[in-house]
Structure formats: structure tokens, C-alpha cells
Amino acid sequence: MDRNRVEKDGWILQKVEDYSVTKNFNCGDDDLNEFFTKDALEHDRQLLTQTYMLHEATMVEKGDPVAFVSFCNDAVRLKDLEDYTALPPEKRYPSIPAVKIARLAVAKGLQGKNIGTHLVNMIKQMFMTHNRTGCRLLTVDAYNKPEVIAFYQKNGFDFLREKEKKREHPIMYFDLISLQLD
């Protein structure tokens, strides 16, 4: 089993090994485009992030990736989580291990077609079934744009704290344990 690959419903999410696949990527956001086409390889070399690509299973050899996501390690201090009672008091730690979605982008012509939601669901599956280091939360420093916030909320993310709503890049989180309860 390849721990760096998840297949679901005709899609494959796999680690980028050859960064030339990013050269023509365009999601319509200059900052994200620059990260995936120019910076992601150096971030990988510097052990800062790991980048994955999403593509249709039938397009492994022919098609371009339709989305990219980069991950890095994170931790959330319990005192920063408002009303967080998922752990009994005797089991609480000062922080909870997390994986941060450092960057996530869907190709411009494919946005609004639920590919981003499918990608987030595959990410959740990946960290639930291939949990490498103990990861309870997914976090993201989202762009504070209504459509971005709505996307993450639709996918089960919540604000870390109320005051995050006013920040340029509010921290949002998803508790993976909720998938075990479903």
C-alpha cells in the first residue's frame, strides 16, 4: 500500500515527485500559482511542506493535475480552542497535534464543480487511514474572503476562536475524530 496515495471515486491524490507537473497550473490566484509553480519544490527540499496533486484516475499519464495541496505539521494549544470539550479533563494535553493545509488550489476552469470538497474529503480520509504521526486536527489559515470561508465551513471547518473572523488569514480547524463518530 502506498501511504502517499489515496484513490476515491475515480480520483487519485498523490505526493508530487516531479514538480514539472506544476509548471502550467493556474487557479486564478497569483499567490497560490506562484507557490505551486515556483516555491513548492524548495519548500519540499527545506522540509517545510509536502505537496500532493489531485488528478482523475483515468488521466494518470495524459492529464494535468486539477488541484494541489501542501501540508505541514501544526499543533493547536487547547487554551486557544474555545469550548473544546472533546477530550475528558484527565486526558487533556497542552496542545493537540494537527496537520496544516498550508496551501490548497483547484484549477481555475474547474472551480465550483465540487472538486475542492472532494479533495478535502480525500485529505480527511488520508489522515484517518494513514495517520503517520498522530494527527487529531486539520488546520488552515484561510483567506478571509466570503467564498473561502464558506468553502471551509461547508466542509466542516470552524474558527479556532471568535476573534479569528476578523483576521486577514483566520485559523480554522476540523476535528478528525468526528469522522469516527459518524
The pLDDT assigned to 83 comes to: 61
Residue 2: per-residue pLDDT: 74
**C-alpha cell read off for 21:** 507537473
Per-residue pLDDT tens over the stretch 27-70: 999 999 999 999 999 999 999 999 999 998 886 554 679 999 99
pLDDT on residue 59 = 67
**Whole-number average pLDDT of the chain:** 88
Q: 72, 151 in Cβ contact below 8 A?
A: no
Nearest to 66 by CA among 14, 30, 17: 14
Judge contact between 106 and 78, C-beta under 8 A: no
Longest Cα pair distance anywhere in the chain, in angstroms? 53
- Gap between the Cα atoms of 7 and 42, Å rounded: 27
Residue 80 pLDDT class (50, 70, 90 cuts): confident
Which amino acid belongs to residue 177? I
- Average of per-residue pLDDT across 86-112: 84
Q: Which whole number is the average pLDDT over 7-28?
A: 92
Higher pLDDT, 51 or 2: 51
* C-alpha cell of residue 128: 484517518
Whether the model pTM is above 0.75: yes
pLDDT value, residue 106? 97
Amino acid 61: pLDDT: 55
Taking alpha carbons only, the member of 152, 170, 169 closest to residue 161 is 170
